[in-house]
Amino acid sequence: MNSRRDFLQKFSLGIGAAAFIAGAENVSAAAPKIADAPKADKQLRVALMGLGGYANIVARGMKECKTAKLVGLVTGTPSKIPEWKQKYGIEDKNIYNYENLQEIKNNPDIDLVYVITPNSLHHKHVLQVAAAGKHVICEKPVADNAKQAREMIAACEKAGVKFYIGYRLHFEPHTRELIRMREAGEFGKIMHVNNYAGFTIGDPTQWRLKKNLAGGGAMMDVGVYSTNGARYCTGEEPVWVTAQESKTDPVKFKDVDETVTFQLGFPSGIIANCGCTYNFNHAERLHVMGQKGWAEMNPAFGYGPIRGNTHKGAIDAPDVNHQAYQMDGIADAILNGKPDPNVTGHEGLKDMLVIDAVYESLRKNGAKVFIKQ
């Protein structure tokens, strides 16, 4: 297993076993019947910013969309443009680079920009998109820290544009059903949560191992999944953190964290044991235990298929294209005035508050750190 993409794709196909769903109070149980719906007359017109591995996955998924359509590109690599134009029918007038991005404000054929650049560029790029007056989706983690996340939220509110985070599992049927069961009280009082997310990272020169681009290591990347898993399983926001790091390869991981285990304390007294790693595979599992029942997701966080079992039996839900469901769900909210799905910039901020506290605890040798709201 050499990449995060392998972790999310291959494990979910059955050779391993952790994404996320943050604060699921607002996530309804019934997944939309996107696959059965005809193409909408009005579609949200989307430009992808950053044409790396995940952008390719999003673009392929959007071929299944009914309410969203890929129409534009923003890239700093001109050599990628011909293939993308040919594959997705992108017109020259809808192609931009990082230097002329501000010109997108004059293009009425693009409604939204999906920022899929390295983590530490999210803050800069979301501010640029907001200034251009376009709605924006940003991949997770939203930013390097909570301070940046707040600035991004404020910029989008000032510009009057929508700001979402790429939390695709808010639209995934198995996870939605788990959340529905928790909200309906079918597990009873939640007593404990345990989850882990990780894989063996490959190329030592990649941007995810460079702090100036990634913002951190495993915690900033797959640790988002563990954090969100704990939040959606409890329906609460954690109030304190303790964290520990282990590092077996100080050369490869000289700039970033390798393996982090952390504990989250919640207002009701629940403690969640969580972890994330760049050092070993087969780490994708979420387990929630209640007084009346339990649920386990394994695989829990990849691109699918997601699998879940509960004290009532297997979760019977359809397998769907996560990226298509996410994009159509967000498009429906923007175009048709539906309530915002629970994937706004504020959800991203909640995650960053926890991650900030985890890193503070690591700096303080595992001391308990209270999460600052």
pLDDT value of residue 22: 33
CA pair distance 347, 330, nearest whole angstrom: 14
pLDDT value of residue 282: 84
* Cβ–Cβ under 8 Å, residues 198 and 278: yes
Residues 72 and 84 in one domain: yes
Residues 278 and 130 in one domain: no
| CATH number of the domain bearing residue 209 | 3.30.360.10
Residues 78 and 119 in one domain: yes
Residues 78 and 135 in one domain: yes
Residues 15 and 105 in one domain: no
pLDDT value of residue 33: 47
- Is pLDDT of 302 > 50? yes
Q: What is the pLDDT of residues 193-205, one digit of tens each?
A: 999 999 999 999 9
Residues 23 and 40 in one domain: no
pLDDT value of residue 210: 97
Q: What is the pLDDT of residues 96-125, one digit of tens each?
A: 999 999 999 999 999 999 999 999 999 999
Residues 232 and 360 in one domain: yes
pLDDT value of residue 372: 85
Confidence of residue 38 (pLDDT cuts 50, 70, 90): low
Residues 242 and 179 in one domain: yes
Residues 59 and 199 in one domain: no
Mean pLDDT of 297-302: 94
- Is pLDDT of 13 > 70? no
pLDDT value of residue 92: 97
Confidence of residue 15 (pLDDT cuts 50, 70, 90): very low
Q: What is the pLDDT of residues 120-151, one digit of tens each?
A: 999 999 999 999 999 999 999 999 999 999 99
* Cβ–Cβ under 8 Å, residues 243 and 227: no
Residues 135 and 249 in one domain: no
- Is pLDDT of 11 > 50? no
> What percent of the chain shows pLDDT beyond 90?
85
Residue 39: domain span? 34-168
Closest CA to 273 of 192, 219, 198: 192
What's the total number of domains in the chain? 2
pTM of the model: 0.90
Backbone angles phi, psi at 193, to 5 degrees: -130, 140
Q: How many CB atoms lie within 10 A of CB 309?
A: 13
Q: Is residue 116 part of a domain?
A: yes
- Is pLDDT of 344 > 70? yes
Average pLDDT, the chain: 91
Q: Is residue 243 part of a domain?
A: yes
Residues 231 and 351 in one domain: yes
- Residue where a domain terminates, one of 117, 150, 168: 168
Q: Is residue 332 part of a domain?
A: no
| CATH number of the domain bearing residue 161 | 3.40.50.720
CA pair distance 206, 255, nearest whole angstrom: 12
- Is pLDDT of 32 > 50? no
pLDDT value of residue 4: 61
- Residue where a domain terminates, one of 168, 185, 202: 168
Mean pLDDT of 45-56: 97
Residues 81 and 191 in one domain: no
- Residue where a domain terminates, one of 168, 200, 227: 168
